[in-house]
Amino acid sequence: MVERMISVGGNVTLNDVRRIVDTVKHMDSNEQLVVSMNSQDSYNAQNIFSVLEKNNFEWSTKGGHGGRDYYIIARKKVRTRVRRSNRDQNENNKELEDKLNDIILYGAFMSTYNYWLSSDEQKNKAQHLQSIGKPKGIKNRK
């Protein structure tokens, strides 16, 4: 593993932050950055943490021997891929296919989606509901 070292003086200056930005932009996942500073100035490390976070780095801090030094050890976060099983992929494909089957070419929903009814089915249903409770022999008007 390649280790890059940057030493920061008393206060963290804009120049120090720029050096760190330039360094992390050119680092690979197999490299490690160690930023050293005086432990009394560790409260100024927030700008460094912000730079590391924005550039997808994880870090840990460590105090040196004798309590004088403060180290920030940073590595690029490794992206892990979750491999789906064939069964999960098939289930996702079936779900997607069902969703696509419910949508026609121009984006309108088919009548089966969420129990939606076509205009003719709605008309027939309304006529049926109107006929309920009417005495037999009275027909619906058209």
Quick one: pLDDT at residue 74?
92
Quick one: pLDDT at residue 99?
56
| Rounded mean pLDDT, 6-14 | 82
| Rounded mean pLDDT, 98-127 | 61
Neighbour-count burial for 73-91, b at 16+ CB within 10 Å, e otherwise: ebbbeeeeeeeeeeeeeee
Quick one: pLDDT at residue 34?
92
Dump pLDDT digits (tens) for 49-64. Answer: 888 998 999 989 888 6
Fold of 2-76: Rossmann fold (3.40.50)
Please say whether the beta carbons of 3 and 34 come within 8 A: yes
The distance from CA 33 to its chain's CA centroid, rounded to whole angstroms, is 26
∠ CA 18-20-25, rounded to 5°: 100
pTM above 0.95, yes or no: no
- Going by C-alpha positions, the residue among 66, 8, 68 that lies closest to residue 33 is 8
Check whether 84 has a pLDDT greater than 50.
Answer: yes
Domain ranges of the chain: 2-76, 86-131
Cα–Cα distance measured from residue 84 to residue 78, given in angstroms and rounded to the nearest whole number: 19
